Amino acid sequence: MTDLGTRPAPPPTGAARRAAPALAGYVAVRALGLVVLALWSAARGSSPHTLLTARWDSLWYTRVAGPGYGYGYGYEVRLPNGDVHSDLAFFPLLPWLERLGEALTPLSFADAGLLVSTLASIAAAWGIFAVADHVYGSRAGFCAVLLWAVLPVGIVQSMAYSESLFTALAAWSLYAVLRGRWVTAGVLASLAGLTRPVGAAVVAAVWVAAITSYVRDRRTLPAREVPVLRRALGMVLAPLGAAGYVLWVGRRTGKGPLGYLDVQAGWRNGFDGGYAFARFVAGKFTAFPSALAGAGLIIGVALIVWLFVVCVRQRQPLPLLVYAGIVTALALCASSYFGSKPRLLLPAFPLLLPLARALARVRPSRSAAVLGGVAAASAVYGAFWLNGSGPP
């Protein structure tokens, strides 16, 4: 017994037809966000293309895609306060794909990154649907995809950032785990580990699912019928991407296996259990206007924790809980870039499944009204956000 879910897998053509309404809804929401961004940017005299492809992290990715990682510690920016920002902090899969896109098409590195992100966001939406449909049914899958699309920072899904690519790889790896396709899950987890540091969450999900399913199979099946080789191969493959890059950075910097942590320290980024974030929130309560923002942050964190508790109570499959828990913990407990936390939580799509199940139970007209209203608000907020401080 290898299937960790509840439903048989549909044939490929049937799976595409089953996912088509969710994907159409997703594309519509993203199109709405881009139209609003274009109108808002035109009113402000800014370029939506520049906002999507040539600011913040997207510049670092295209810099890696072009000349590659710099010599020694990589390309570095030294700030007046002494911080050192190195391009080695950015994992290589997205820049590799940007370089491939630039070589095969007339597109620039930046535009190739935008194309990769666009295609990856659709693949991510399909993966989210596949996971939710497998566990809770197609209506819940449809609602889960739309909820992911209308998140307040959903505009990041349309930027030349790595969140969409990572979410696609993570979602399909988790789906492979639920189907008991261990080698596929391991390969996708390895690629996720080449995309973002939080790829460790996908690796952990694969490992926990493989071990627990093996223990269960040993209890319920004759020993000769317990599959071992493919499960073990998936476990071996899963960490290779992240481990390979981290070890390469350690060798490149001369700092050994933990050299990547030194690179992150140059960005003042690390894991402190949430202490710095708690201080940041507490600091908001020094004046009335900022106190409202502090209260909003507390409510937001409480909502995220509550959603995870509901996921546990609803007995989501263990790999989904492990994955969502680690992504959430790493996002909330990072010691810097507090404005990035909503963006860092984008891949934690299992947290949306309780809301998706609730929406799936109400009348379609009511759920459409709710999702439509939130989509409009998200589009406006995304345009405002990118034309302001935007994602750090």
* Residue 185, domain member (yes or no): yes
| Closest C-alpha among 17, 116, 123 to residue 65 | 116
- How many angstroms separate the CA atoms of 328 and 270, rounded? 14
Task: Output the average pLDDT for the chain.
Answer: 92
* pLDDT range class, residue 182, cuts 50, 70, 90: very high
* Residue 5, domain member (yes or no): no
Q: Supply the pLDDT for residue 283.
A: 87
The reported pTM is: 0.94
Q: Is the pLDDT of residue 189 over 80?
A: yes
Q: Is the pLDDT of residue 136 over 70?
A: yes
Q: How large is the angle between the packed helices 109-136 and 353-361, nearest 10 degrees?
A: 60
Write the single-letter amino acid at 49.
Answer: H
Q: Supply the pLDDT for residue 1.
A: 38
Write the single-letter amino acid at 202.
Answer: V
Bridge partner list, 271: 334
Range of the domain at 49: 13-386
* Residue 1, domain member (yes or no): no
* Residue 392, domain member (yes or no): no
Q: Is the pLDDT of residue 327 over 90?
A: yes
* Residue 6, domain member (yes or no): no
157 and 343 in contact (C-beta within 8 Å)? no
Q: Supply the pLDDT for residue 2.
A: 42
Residues 6+ apart with CB under 8 A from 363: none
pLDDT digits (tens, 9 = 90+) for 60-91: 999 999 888 875 556 888 888 888 899 999 99
Q: Supply the pLDDT for residue 335.
A: 84
- How many angstroms separate the CA atoms of 158 and 284, rounded? 31
Q: Supply the pLDDT for residue 117.
A: 97
Please state which of the ranges 189-193, 195-199, 252-256 shows the lowest mean pLDDT: 252-256
Q: Is the pLDDT of residue 311 over 80?
A: yes
pLDDT digits (tens, 9 = 90+) for 113-126: 999 999 999 999 99
* Residue 311, domain member (yes or no): yes
* Residue 135, domain member (yes or no): yes
Whose structure tokens read 């992150």? 264
Write the single-letter amino acid at 250.
Answer: G
Three-state DSSP at 105 gives coil
Q: Supply the pLDDT for residue 51.
A: 96
171 and 133 in contact (C-beta within 8 Å)? no
Whose structure tokens read 């299992």? 350
257 and 246 in contact (C-beta within 8 Å)? yes
Number of Cβ within 10 Å of residue 349's Cβ equals: 28
**Rg of the chain in Å (alpha carbons):** 21
Tokens of 76: 């570095």
* Domains of the chain: total: 1
Q: Is the pLDDT of residue 4 over 80?
A: no
* Residue 89, domain member (yes or no): yes
